[in-house]
Amino acid sequence: MRLCLVNPCNPLVSMSQPSRWRRYRVWKPLGLMAIAGATPAQWEVTIIDENLGVPDYSCMPRPDLVGITAFTSQSPRAYEIAAAFRKIGVPVVMGGIHASMRPEEALAEVDAVVKGEAEAIWPTVLADAQRGAGALRRIYDGGLVDLKSVPSTRHDLLTRGYAFGSIQTTRGCPLNCHFCSVSAFNGHSYRHRPIEAVVREFGLIHERLVLVVDDNLIGTRPEHLTRAKDLFRAMIAAKLHKKWVCQATINFGDDEELLELAARAGCVGAFIGFESLTDEGLAELGKRYNILKGGDLRGSVARIHRYGILVVGSFIMGLDSDTPGVGRRIAKAAARYDVDLLNPLFLTPLPGTRLWEKMQTQGRITANRLPQDWRYYTLSFPVARFQNLSWAQILSEMDDSWRWFYSPWRIIRRVFGSLRRWRSPLTMLVANLSYRRNHRADREKLDELDLSRGAAWSGCDGLQQKSTSIIANDFQAALAPRVQMANLPSVNAQ
């Protein structure tokens, strides 16, 4: 039995075009690798990551089942792939966060949907598929799995094309921010894998650089921090020789012992969500944890820097409390906190969040021709009307924020500052130039469309036609199985 697992690209922001920097911008589809690990040995598993390039599907052997995962912005492409395979009689199962938040929408496009965490229910899905497409249930609910019993992730299936490996050590988030669907998907409880299993999996990762995909690696409570320290001690003892980056809350900078252990275990970077400059904005987002923490944010960043760890600061723009000038205020605050990289994002109402419910009720969602408009939900495109900022204003604010923070002079200052902190100036330079380049690419696309004016949809369609030129004109016909697929990993599940 052949199983084909697909991670769709978003042609609007596709990273599939060859580039010397692409391998640093794409992340492994860890969810599909985990599903492959839960697949019985009698299935031959292939994983296709379209972010590395859209393959010629006509050259692959006909699969018995296709599994597709998708974030919201990938879902239109996921539905295209599903339609093409279903047309030639191959059943398609879809999982991931978007299908879990919008199961009825997904069911109009695929044969079955797996809601929630899929590892425990996946063998049942495959057993039903073996009895024939008609035996598949419409919905499988995976719920929340016991992380003590999840099978090993199949890192051997994707070994080329990535600078970073990926690993997950915890799931769930107790913060339940209004703009985030993590709590709805992975639950409110902070759950963690056994430390020995994490260390063992680190050893299976081919890449020297690793992205820890946990939404908050260290957690928020004392017992969470204790567990993180125990994990770091085990990683140090195992002499893994890996460098890794993670996501964390600002309390990462409050505990010197935690920072020392993290650095010794290989931590070289942390993505931290500051989100808003004001208590009013944080309350609006439901991120009261940052309000309760308060404190000296520059001091917290300085302590993280002291251990040679780079800080990426994330801020959200377009809050009801945001007023003209917010872009420059965010950029100046990021410089004042001394973050190494600034990542400003548009407030985006993702399905399954309280923000979505609020904006939908208020009629403020402008990218509302669904499902095709999901492609704009990348956090880099405004998809809603904002209280105090017009479309032109918020684009100007975002542009000003990027231009100010990533001006050549300020990049040079940060590069030389990294020398004082014993961190790699080359890494700092490349990271800053990469962020600057990414914004320019986004800005070129934004210049071509305007979701806040109904008459602009023809412009959006024109952009879509340009961005989807990598897809064959008659993609469905091209799926007819002919010869073996080349250059894609395909091994028996173990």
Rounded distance, CA 487 to CA 481, Å?
A: 16
Which residue type does 36 have? Answer: A
Rounded distance, CA 199 to CA 230, Å?
A: 11
What pLDDT is stored for residue 427 in this prediction?
81
Rounded distance, CA 490 to CA 493, Å?
A: 9
Beta carbons within 10 angstroms of residue 133's beta carbon = 16
Cβ burial, residue 489 (10 Å; 0-12/13-18/19+)? middle
Q: Which CATH number fits domain 163-451: 3.40.50.12160, 3.80.30.20, 3.40.50.800, 1.10.3720.10?
A: 3.80.30.20
What pLDDT is stored for residue 14 in this prediction?
61
What pLDDT is stored for residue 410 in this prediction?
94
Contact 340, 295 (CB under 8 A): no
Q: What is the dihedral of CA 59, 63, 67, 69, to 10 degrees?
A: 0
What pLDDT is stored for residue 145 in this prediction?
94
The tens place of each residue's pLDDT in the chain, 494 residues long, gives 999 999 999 988 766 556 666 677 788 999 999 999 999 999 999 999 999 989 998 888 999 999 999 999 999 999 999 999 999 999 999 999 999 999 999 999 999 999 999 999 999 999 999 998 789 999 999 999 999 989 989 999 998 889 999 999 999 988 878 998 888 899 888 999 999 999 999 999 999 999 999 999 999 899 999 999 999 999 999 999 999 999 999 999 999 999 999 999 999 999 999 999 998 999 999 887 766 566 789 999 999 999 999 999 999 999 999 999 999 999 999 999 999 999 999 999 999 999 999 999 999 999 999 999 999 999 999 999 999 999 889 999 999 999 999 999 999 999 988 877 666 778 888 888 888 887 877 777 776 666 654 433 333 333 343 333 333 333 333 343 322 222 333 333 33
Q: Which two three-digit tokens encode residue 436?
A: 């600057």
Question: What residue ranges do the domains of the chain occupy?
Answer: 2-144+472-484, 163-451
Strand order in the sheet with 65-69: 139-141, 112-115, 92-95, 65-69, 2-7, 44-49, 490-492
Rounded distance, CA 76 to CA 375, Å?
A: 6
Taking alpha carbons only, the member of 377, 319, 314 closest to residue 345 is 314
Instruction: Say yes or no: do domains 2-144+472-484 and 163-451 share a fold.
Output: no
Three-state DSSP at 201 gives helix
What pLDDT is stored for residue 175 in this prediction?
82
- Spatial neighbors of 156 by CB under 8 A, at least 6 apart, are 204, 489, 491
What pLDDT is stored for residue 490 in this prediction?
32
Taking alpha carbons only, the member of 151, 60, 67, 141 closest to residue 110 is 67
- Spatial neighbors of 211 by CB under 8 A, at least 6 apart, are 27, 164, 165, 166, 167, 244, 245, 246
Q: Which fold has domain 2-144+472-484?
A: Rossmann fold (3.40.50)
Q: How much is the pTM?
A: 0.89
